[in-house]
Structure 1
Amino acid sequence: MDRGTYIEYHGRPAVRFERTYGHPVERVWEAVATPEGLAHWFPSAVALEPYVGGKITFSGDPNMEGTTGEVLEFEPPRRLAFSWSGDELRFELEAVDGGCRFTLINVLEARDTAARNAAGWTVCLAELGGHLAGEPVAGPHSESATPWRPVYEEYVASGMPSGAPIPGEEDEHGEQGEHGE
């Protein structure tokens, strides 16, 4: 499993992932920055207005209410950034020998969401990798996806900040978690 790392991004907590794919930047861009491409691996259905200041809408995630955000950067085929609830997602693509380096940075609203979100992105990125490899994928919420819980437990055991409510699970007060991957 390619693990994400906990970082500080401009003074805010974040988790960072880097993957290299044997495809041109334009192909990876289509997979990570269009609603059609995102449908294969992203945890929500996405509709976006492809310009800075445009609206981005998230729906269909069984663990989150639908919400909207704002496109913060849109520089095809190299950079996409947008707000999502209190978080910010940044996608950066760079041509490298033999393909494309894709970097995902999830700037977090709260430090204690790091392990939860890192586990979610690990599952999602496994689906992206399968999609780009031409394998049939059914998305991160499918039965065929990498199970989230063991990945989460590995991040917690490694010391990544944790403790945020888990969507769909009751906390010690009997309340359901509301947000996350």
Structure 2
Amino acid sequence: MHAEMIPTGPSWTLIFIRELRQPPHEVWAALTDPAELDQWAPFAAKSSLAVTGDTTLTMIDGDERQDLPATVRTAAAPSLLEYTWGEDVLRWELEPAGTGTRLTLRHTLSHPDTGAMVAAGWHLCLDVLQHLLDGEPVGVIRGKDALNHGWEELRASYERQFRR
């Protein structure tokens, strides 16, 4: 997996690139279907992200819930998905790579000082996504539960990497 932070005007964009073993249409379903998102993503989606328009993404941390407004800006199956998440923008690009998919996530952060924390979270989420796509779900890792799965070590590692 490749990860970096780059300046994009007044904000910063976190870029993750991951090679997945499944074809783009399978990855697309995991990125857009609320039932699949609920098994790996840091939020629950009120509606399908495969349709442009407004929705709600709910952050979940144990019993705590926080609804954030979202707008799906682009839903071009199975290659491009872009939506707002609160003040942030997430852009998912899917390219065929052999029999699998090259997934690029561009997460433009409204608060760039959170880059290492966000990177650690997405790292864990994308690990869980790969298990789900492989048919070996391990269960969603959200909120404080991430501390039990190496989040702090990942955050420290990304912090060192992004300072270079």
Structure showing the higher strand proportion among its residues: 2
1:61 is displaced (CA, Å) by 1.2
Cα 1:118/1:18, change in 2 over 3 Å:
same
Q: Tell me the CA shift for residue 8 of structure 1.
A: 2.8
1:153 maps onto 2:156 in alignment: yes
The residue number in structure 1 matching 2:93 is 92
Q: Which stretch shifts more, 26-35 or 134-143?
A: 134-143
Give the TM-score, by structure 2 length: 0.85
CA contact (8 A) 1:138 1:144 kept: no
Query: Is 1:110 matched with 2:108?
Result: no
> How many positions carry a matched residue from both structures?
159
Q: Computing the radius of gyration over CA atoms, which structure comes out larger, 1 or 2?
A: 1
Partner residue in 2 for 1:51: 51
| Structure-1 residue corresponding to 2:72 | 71
SS in 2 for 1:65: strand
How far 1:143 moved relative to its partner? 7.0
CA contact (8 A) 1:6 1:160 kept: no
Counterpart of 2:18 in structure 1 is 19
Does the CA contact (< 8 Å) of 1:138 and 1:145 recur in 2? no
Alignment partners' CA distance in 1, 2:46 and 2:65: 16
Q: CA RMSD in A?
A: 2.3
- Give the superposition deviation at 1:121: 0.6
Pair 1:40-2:39 in alignment: yes
Segments of structure 2 that go 5 or more residues without pairing to the other structure are: none
Distance in 1 separating the partners of 2:140 and 2:12: 27
**Contact 1:119 1:148 (C-alpha < 8 Å) held by counterparts:** yes
**Displacement after TM superposition at 1:42 (Å):** 0.3
- Distance in 2 (CA, whole Å) between partners of 1:8 and 1:83 is 18
Q: Which runs of 5+ in 1 are unaligned?
A: 162-181
Within a 5 Å distance, the mapping from 1:164-175 to structure 2 comes to none
C-alpha contact (below 8 Å) 2:58/2:67 kept by paired residues: yes
Cα deviation, 1:113-153, whole Å, max 9, x if unaligned, reads 11111111111111111111221221122579732111111
Q: Give the TM-score, by structure 1 length.
A: 0.78
Matched residue of 2:46: which SS?
strand
Tell me the equivalent position of 2:138. 137
Residue type at the aligned position of 2:26: R
Whether the 8 Å CA contact 1:4–1:122 is kept in 2: the answer is: no
| Of 92-101 and 152-161, the range deviating more from structure 2 | 152-161
